[in-house]
Amino acid sequence: MTRLLEVKSLEGGYDSVQILYEIDIHVDEGEFVTIIGPNGCGKSTLIKTIFGLATYYRGEVSYRGADVSGMRTDQLVNMGISYVPQVDNVFPSLSVIENMRMGGNKLQPQTLSDRIERSLEMFPDLRSREFDLAASLSGGERQMLAISRALISNPNFLLLDEPTAALSPLYQQQIIESIDSLRQVGITILIVEQNARLSLARSDRGYIMSNGKVVHSGDAQRILTDPEIGEYFLGSHDDH
Ligand SMILES: Nc1ncnc2c1ncn2[C@@H]1O[C@H](COP(=O)(O)OP(=O)(O)OP(=O)(O)O)[C@@H](O)[C@H]1O
Ligand SMILES: [Mg+2]
């Protein structure tokens, strides 16, 4: 199994505000890995530090064996990593197709249109909305667009931050299934999710964060069925 991402003793934050402490995580090629944890524990900061969008302090971040710690976002994109942010992940005043083009503005026109076509095949709901403003999309369609845009750079590794937040249960399911299906085209997934049960059900492994640290890791099914973890981190089965 090929180690795609290896993070060891990573510390990071925002300028002088340290948020992350001694983070150890890894993702192997082809895996679907979920990070869960309470609000404010540092999940987004971890993804952003890996992707060059928060302040890297120290520790190891390697991608396919190469040291990428503290590397710039555009360089990471060139290496095959892409990211779907938690908020503001589409440009509302641009059309669906313009948003997709923004994901590949350095590509040759033919490559760009081939990639857009591939994204539209993956998310057929967007095809009839191609020329509509992103502002007019539903929450679920917006997430599909955000994911589509992240795919335009043809990544091998996709980082997603709460793609099902604020969506109806039907859309949550659909989005997670779409993300899972990306594995069939060779994309490895690292996802942060509040809908822990939904995402872990599709995952190989999971990490649980609390107060800027990883406090538990393991097989996703085992996390789902561990009564102590369930009580603290997953919410009860019958809470809705
Ligand atoms: N730009 C920033 N500057 C300084 N502190 C920040 C910044 N963004 C987030 N923080 C702080 O970092 C901590 C971790 O935030 P982060 O967004 O990583 O949490 P999270 O686990 O993603 O939470 P949520 O589940 O609510 O999205 C919080 O205390 C937050 O207030
Ligand atoms: Mg977050």
* Torsion 62-69-59-52 (CA) sign: negative
Distance 41 CA to ligand 1 centre (A): 7
- pLDDT at position 240 is 41
Residue 22: C-alpha distances to residues 88, 131, 158, 211 (Å): 29, 46, 23, 11
Looking at the CA of 13, which ligand is closest?
1
Ligand 1, atom 27: nearest CA belongs to which residue?
Answer: 39
Looking at the CA of 35, which ligand is closest?
1
Ligand 1, atom 17: nearest CA belongs to which residue?
Answer: 44
Q: What is the pTM of this model?
A: 0.94
Backbone angles phi, psi at 88, to 5 degrees: 50, 50
pLDDT < 70 regions, the chain = 235-240
- pLDDT at position 1 is 80
- Cβ burial 30-68 (10 Å sphere, 16+ → b, else e): ebbbbbbbeeebbbbbbbbbbbbebbbbebebbbeeeeb
Distance 128 CA to ligand 2 centre (A): 31
Q: Which of 20, 43, 49, 208 to mutate to test the pocket of ligand 1 (most atoms within 8 A of CB)?
A: 43
Q: Which amino acid is at 87?
A: V
- pLDDT at position 60 is 97
Please state the length of the chain.
240
Are 170 and 138 spatial neighbours (Cβ–Cβ below 8 Å)?
A: no
Q: How far apart, in whole angstroms, are the C-alpha atoms of residue 212 and residue 136?
A: 36
* Torsion 154-117-160-173 (CA) sign: negative
**Residue 148 structure tokens:** 């589509």
- pLDDT at position 239 is 44
**All structural domains of the chain:** 3-234 (3.40.50.300)
- pLDDT at position 235 is 66
* Residue in 179, 130, 210 with CA at minimum distance from that of residue 32: 179
* Residue in 6, 51, 41, 36 with CA at minimum distance from that of residue 20: 41
